[in-house]
């Protein structure tokens, strides 16, 4: 099986070959923890979680080291503190935990490493000192800035040329800059802002804090090494964030590349606009999880090729849930026949070949539905003729389905639990009403029994009567 990945730097799909198959390294830019993550923030988390799972399947769980950082020092965090009066440490701890819980609910595995910006201040200061010694950074009015003229290849990743750099970029134009596009590595902190003392070697005194771009370079070098295999993030991070990472890392590490493969996912859109907090058109993961199962959100996020834009609508999530309902219905029908992963290995390898073509999840979903259709036909036959070969074929197909689910982070629920989730009525209350209905039926009070059935149906609960007693499921 060959894993092909689209490399943004090369602008083509390339065969993935790690530096060391015994230590495959990947870094993805994580959240800035000052508020709830919106569903657009979840797309890179889910996309690169699939890649993490696929790499672990190919190379082994212990051989893949995946770091996803947490930015816990930032102007937005400081602003949230100033507006609410809540201590910065409390804001960042609260929203980091919410982020982990929300991502866990949509099936995202914990990364191998979760470095924080504040945990790497010393490493950032060392990196800045190295850049100053190399002549690639300079101090000015309490700031330290990267000298863009020190790196001739700047713009190679994004294709942004020097003349267009200022347009639409998060670049502060200031009189103390040598070049308008020079970016901040370190900036002064006010008395009421968090800060750390500048090293004496920088030539000035005072408290300050790191620039955003610097953080990732320091965390990568400290935790994964000078050059990593894969660096991932959203399409909007190519410029200036990833360009700045590349420049400062190369200049401090004698030209060594920061990453061998660069991968970027497309935007989530609301209509024709990119989803973003600044536009006020966001839907948070936290809110959506109150309405939909986490797997439905995950399916929706994987329903388009990861590099393409994805329009987020309620209809998309409803379709995703309907697709999962179909699969869970098959798993429910076949629940008495255990999956046989060994028998399904051949077809699963074919599925992996499809997914390994640059994480082609839409094509992978098509392969899953081919398996589901085959399973449905086999189950129809098995209900007429419970032969051993049919049972074996069902077990093999089910094995394929479950292994595909493992790599995609899907089908994690028990089928019965899936069809009983997502209701606005407590399951304990449903069981109480079923008992009351059984008493009414025993007393031949069929009007009451029918009313209980109809009331539950109105709340999305279907009662199914059987000789051994009534059961229920979500409509």
Provide the 3-class DSSP secondary structure of residue 470: coil
Q: Looking up tokens 């595995």, which residue turns up?
A: 109
pLDDT band at residue 130 using 50, 70 and 90 as cut-offs: very high
Beta-carbon contacts of 318 under 8 Å, excluding residues fewer than 6 positions away, are: none
Please state, rounded to an integer, the average pLDDT across all residues of the chain.
92
Handedness of CA 334, 340, 343, 345 (dihedral sign): positive
Please, which residues have CB within 8 angstroms of residue 353's CB and are 6 or more apart in sequence? 1
Q: Which pTM was predicted?
A: 0.89
Best CA proximity match to 361, nearest among 334, 399, 323, 388: 323
Give the DSSP H or E segment for 14.
Answer: strand 12-15
Q: Please give the Cα distance from 45 to 113 (Å, whole number).
A: 14
Task: Return the minimum-mean-pLDDT range out of 179-188, 265-274, 383-392.
Answer: 265-274
For range 464-473, the mean pLDDT: 72
Neighbours of 360 (CB within 10 A): 17
Question: Measured at the alpha carbon of residue 158, what is the angle toward residues 114 and 219, in degrees to the nearest 5?
Answer: 20
Contact 321, 289 (CB under 8 A): no
Quote the percentage of the chain above a pLDDT of 90. 80
- The confidence score (pLDDT) of residue 223 equals 98
Residue 8 has pLDDT above 80, yes or no: yes
202-251 pLDDT, tens digit each: 999 999 999 999 999 999 999 999 999 999 999 999 999 999 999 999 99
At residue 475 the predicted structure's pLDDT band, cuts being 50, 70 and 90, is low
pLDDT band at 277 (very low <50, low <70, confident <90, very high): low
DSSP letter, residue 340: -
The pLDDT-based confidence of 281 (bands split at 50, 70, 90) is: confident
Tokens of 294: 């986490």
């Amino acid at each position: 099986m060959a894993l092909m990945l689209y490399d943004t730097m090369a602008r083509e799909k390339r065969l993935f070959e790690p530096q060391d198959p015994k230590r495959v390294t990947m870094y993805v830019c994580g959240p800035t923890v000052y508020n709830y993550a919106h569903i657009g923030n979840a797309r890179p988390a889910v996309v690169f979680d699939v890649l993490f799972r696929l790499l672990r399947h190919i190379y082994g769980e212990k051989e893949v080291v995946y770091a996803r950082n947490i930015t816990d020092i930032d102007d937005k965090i400081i602003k949230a503190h100033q507006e609410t009066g809540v201590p910065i440490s409390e804001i960042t701890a609260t929203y980091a935990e919410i982020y982990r819980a929300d991502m866990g609910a949509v099936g995202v595995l914990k990364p191998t490493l979760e470095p924080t910006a504040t945990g790497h201040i010393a490493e950032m200061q060392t990196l800045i000192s190295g850049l100053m010694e190399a002549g690639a950074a300079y101090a000015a009015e309490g700031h330290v800035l990267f000298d863009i003229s020190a790196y001739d290849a700047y713009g190679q990743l994004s294709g942004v040329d020097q003349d267009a750099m200022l347009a639409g970029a998060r670049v502060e134009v200031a009189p103390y800059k040598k070049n308008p596009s020079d970016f901040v590595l370190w900036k002064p902190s006010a008395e009421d802002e968090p800060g750390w003392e500048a090293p004496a070697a920088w030539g000035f005194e005072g408290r300050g804090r790191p620039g955003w771009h610097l953080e990732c370079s320091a965390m990568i070098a400290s935790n994964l090494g000078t050059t990593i295999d894969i660096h991932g993030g959203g399409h909007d991070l190519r410029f200036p964030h990833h360009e700045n990472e590349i420049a400062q890392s190369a200049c401090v590490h004698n030209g060594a590349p920061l990453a061998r493969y660069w991968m970027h996912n497309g935007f989530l859109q609301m209509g024709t606009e990119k989803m973003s907090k600044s536009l006020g058109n966001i839907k948070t993961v936290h809110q959506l999880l109150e309405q939909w199962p986490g797997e439905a959100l995950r399916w929706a996020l994987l329903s388009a090729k990861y590099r393409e834009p994805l329009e987020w609508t309620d209809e998309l999530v409803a379709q995703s849930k309907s697709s999962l309902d179909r699969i869970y219905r098959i798993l429910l029908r076949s629940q008495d026949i255990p999956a046989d992963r060994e028998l399904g290995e051949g077809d699963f390898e074919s599925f992996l070949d499809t997914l390994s073509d640059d994480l082609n999840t839409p094509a992978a979903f098509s392969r899953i539905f081919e398996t589901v259709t085959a399973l449905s036909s086999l189950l129809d036959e098995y209900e007429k003729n419970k032969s051993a070969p049919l049972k074996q074929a069902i077990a093999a197909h089910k094995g394929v389905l479950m292994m595909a689910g493992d790599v995609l982070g899907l089908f994690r629920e028990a089928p019965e639990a899936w069809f009983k989730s997502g209701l606005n009525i407590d399951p304990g209350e449903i069981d109480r009403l079923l008992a009351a209905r059984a008493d009414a039926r025993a007393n031949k009070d069929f009007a009451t029994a029918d009313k209980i059935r109809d009331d539950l149906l109105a709340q999305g609960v279907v009662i199914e009567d059987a000789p051994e007693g009534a059961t229920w499921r979500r409509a």
